[in-house]
Amino acid sequence: MAVEIDQPHPSLFSNPESDSAVDSDLRYDRNLDWANPAAGSLLTTTDDITKDELLARRENSLDEISRACESASNLDTLWPSILCGISNGNGDIAFAALYRAETTIERVEGTSLLTSRVNPLSFLLSGTVGSFPAAPPCKLEPNIDQKWVQGFFRSVNTHAPVVLLAKDGTLPLEMQQASKDRCYGDACHQAVVLPSAWNRITDVHAVLIVGLAPRVPYDRSYQAWIKTLHREFSNEVVSWVLEEGRHLAEKNEDEGIGREIDFIRREKALEQQEATVADGDVSRLLKIMGAARFVSHGMPPDSADLMRVVLVFSNVPCRDMYCRSM
């Protein structure tokens, strides 16, 4: 007989193949005298201590992930940080596989603005935690005919967790065996697919697959902890997605300011060019007027002066005042 922790009713996701419905650390002596009230007190105390230890262990696992994520400086460094945090905390995650959505930086058509595009039909493996006998596929696409991949993309499409089970074939053998160096070395029987987005408006930038501890029932307490883990994972990813979005917006803004400065410079250069042309016109006009004075005072210019007058006239538009008076 085993004492179940925080499970008034059998869990829908409990593992019938496990030899115990609770953590292996929780045991009791069958020779206890149950007629003695002290025996009940001993069981209650053991139960309480185990609950406290379980909660402390799970809290520590989340702390390990949070501490590891503090070292991340962008999305590329976030993925190994998450996996490192999961690896440091042992006991509640039998294995992990992290996939990131394929993302490209593209230029908006007809502009110089840059935008980030997420491909919801292509996910790349960022890394794993556990002893996988064979590495998971490095790239996942919906056309891969495997039950767990179908469950993976169902999670991406619905933005909701999906449970993979060994008994119905949705949890592949390589994932079942990946926990041999974690969680007491037992084979894993179930896992949960966690997308990085909670709502339909947000793109799924990453998906975390976590194996559940084989000796612990997936009861309300465990489900609540997985939900907290999901929220932490989602918050970390969304925070860095927003941060990189801000950097991209700043880059676009800098380019826009650069274009504006370039436009102002061109405008000033054009104004200077027009001013230079105007000065040249005035200079030519003065030369023409000087040549005219020679003629009006009966001082015939020499051949060089006449040639200069002819050349000047050939370069002056007819709209000049002197032209109209001719």
> Which pLDDT value is given to residue 239?
93
> Residue 199: pLDDT band by 50, 70, 90 thresholds?
confident
**193 and 222 in contact (C-beta within 8 Å)?**
no
Question: Residue ranges of the domains in the chain?
Answer: 37-250, 273-325
Instruction: Report the distance separating Cα 135 and Cα 161, nearest Å.
Output: 23
**Mind listing the pLDDT tens digit for each residue in 209-236?**
999 999 888 999 999 999 999 999 999 9
* Cα dihedral across residues 266, 268, 273, 278: positive or negative: positive
Instruction: Report the distance separating Cα 105 and Cα 89, nearest Å.
Output: 35
**Mind listing the pLDDT tens digit for each residue in 230-286?**
999 999 999 999 998 888 888 877 666 555 555 566 666 566 666 666 666 556 655
Q: Please tell me the number of Cα atoms within 13 Å of 250 on its side-chain side.
A: 6
**Mind listing the pLDDT tens digit for each residue in 110-154?**
677 788 889 999 999 999 999 999 999 999 999 999 999 999 999
Which residue type sits at 175? M
Distance of CA 108 to the CA centre of its chain: 20
**67 and 84 in contact (C-beta within 8 Å)?**
no
Q: Where are the alpha helices (DSSP H) in 10-163?
A: 37-69, 75-88, 147-158
Instruction: Report the distance separating Cα 286 and Cα 307, nearest Å.
Output: 16
Domain boundaries 37-250, CATH class: alpha beta
**138 and 125 in contact (C-beta within 8 Å)?**
yes
Name the residue among 213, 240, 207 with its Cα closest to residue 225: 213
Which residue type sits at 133? P
